[in-house]
Amino acid sequence: MIKFEEPIDIWGQISPEHGYTVHGAAGALPFKPLNRQALAMRIFLLVISLLTIYALLTIDYRSVDVAKAAADTLNNLKIIFLQPDTHRLSLRDAFYEVVITMGLAFLTTLFGGVIAFFLGLLGARNLAPKQVTNIVKGFVAFIRAVPTILWVLIFAVAAGLGSAAAVIGMTFHSVSYLTKAYAESFEELDRSVIEALSASGANWWQIVFQAVIPSAATSILSWTFLRYEINFANAVAMGAAAGAAGIGFDLFMAGGYYFDLREVGLITYIILAFAMALEAVATGLKGRIRQNPR
């Protein structure tokens, strides 16, 4: 029950657009009616909840020994993370394969970043006409809706399974991801700054390189490194799924073919070490850009 310190006018103000406003000791409290979007979201969440409950109640657990499965899982995790070792793959070979994987991710991010930079300029509402931005954003949204693995398999039909198809497919998806991120970063610049530069005689490219890029440099670097980390993870997966070599293929062989959990643990630790190193480099670069924006 809600108690008020003083009487309130429950009918305070009535507006068909903004709902009801109740006046009390704390001031005006807006009460908006339930709109279509909120109603649809609540119905969707209710349906998902009911389907989840139904699935949990109808799953056949009779053929599964839950206690044994949990014990085996804990034992496997213990072997992977507490007893890492290798018999087939040496540390030197493992580091070499990780470098190959990082190279695939670097090429993918480099190609995708360069293409996405120009598409991001055309997709920013404060830098390009509305019709152009709509076309660019619609195009990259379509690309982004298709998973990376499907793009890799599509290009594998022409290029064959291997690193070439993996790089092209991951680049395709990176372009769509970074275009959206770059465009939103460019749009953070106030339109009045662009109008002031245009009034002073600056052309479009001068506005881009003297105002837009310096103001969005930190965001661009953050999004690029984030995508690089995603591409690194994708490159690990493509090593097994698309035959792109690298540490992903060794991880697949150790976990699915040889079932050498100790080697899986060693590879996992190496991947984590490289991922942490990438994060440290990205943090250092962002700090330098903040200190010296120009």
> Does residue 79 sit within a domain?
no
Q: What is the pLDDT of residues 188-202, one digit of tens each?
A: 887 788 888 888 888
> Does residue 162 sit within a domain?
yes
Q: What is the pLDDT of residue 175?
A: 93
Selected residue with higher pLDDT from 10 and 275: 275
Give the CATH number, domain containing residue 179: 1.10.3720.10
Taking the C-alpha atoms of residue 212 and residue 192, their distance in angstroms, rounded to an integer, is 12
At residue 126, φ and ψ (nearest 5 deg) are: -90, 0
Question: Is the same domain home to 47 and 170?
Answer: no
> Does residue 37 sit within a domain?
yes
> Does residue 69 sit within a domain?
no
Mode of pairing for the β-strands spanning 9-15 and 27-31? unpaired
Mean pLDDT of 238-242: 71
Last residue of a domain, one of 19, 35, 58: 58
> Does residue 121 sit within a domain?
yes
Confidence band, pLDDT 50/70/90 cuts, at residue 116: very high
Q: What is the pLDDT of residues 28-56, one digit of tens each?
A: 555 566 678 888 888 999 999 999 998 88
Question: Is the same domain home to 286 and 198?
Answer: yes
Question: Is the same domain home to 275 and 186?
Answer: yes
> Does residue 141 sit within a domain?
yes
Question: Is the same domain home to 276 and 179?
Answer: yes
Q: What is the pLDDT of residue 115?
A: 94
Confidence band, pLDDT 50/70/90 cuts, at residue 110: very high
Question: Is the same domain home to 251 and 158?
Answer: yes
Mean pLDDT of 280-286: 79
Query: b/e for 153-175, b at 16 or more Cβ within 10 A?
Result: eebbeebebebebbbbbbbbbbb
Question: Is the same domain home to 275 and 184?
Answer: yes
Question: Is the same domain home to 277 and 212?
Answer: yes
Burial (CB count <10 Å: 0-12, 13-18, 19+), residue 236: buried
Question: Is the same domain home to 243 and 99?
Answer: yes
Taking the C-alpha atoms of residue 128 and residue 151, their distance in angstroms, rounded to an integer, is 29
Taking the C-alpha atoms of residue 52 and residue 58, their distance in angstroms, rounded to an integer, is 10
Mean pLDDT of 261-276: 85
Q: What is the pLDDT of residue 279?
A: 81
Question: Is the same domain home to 230 and 287?
Answer: yes
Question: Is the same domain home to 151 and 253?
Answer: yes
Last residue of a domain, one of 43, 58, 73: 58
Confidence band, pLDDT 50/70/90 cuts, at residue 86: confident
Confidence band, pLDDT 50/70/90 cuts, at residue 178: very high
> Does residue 262 sit within a domain?
yes
Question: Is the same domain home to 41 and 183?
Answer: no
Range of the domain at 36: 9-58
Q: Is the pLDDT of residue 6 over 60?
A: no
Q: Of 152, 158, 172, which Cα lies nearest the Cα of 243?
A: 152
The mean-pLDDT minimum among 145-149, 198-202, 253-257, 268-272 falls in: 253-257
Number of independent structural domains in the chain: 2
Question: Is the same domain home to 134 and 221?
Answer: yes
CB atoms within 10 A of CB 223: 21
Q: What is the pLDDT of residue 30?
A: 56
Q: Is the pLDDT of residue 14 over 50?
A: no
Taking the C-alpha atoms of residue 121 and residue 207, their distance in angstroms, rounded to an integer, is 11
Q: Is the pLDDT of residue 20 over 60?
A: no
Q: Is the pLDDT of residue 27 over 80?
A: no
> Does residue 94 sit within a domain?
yes
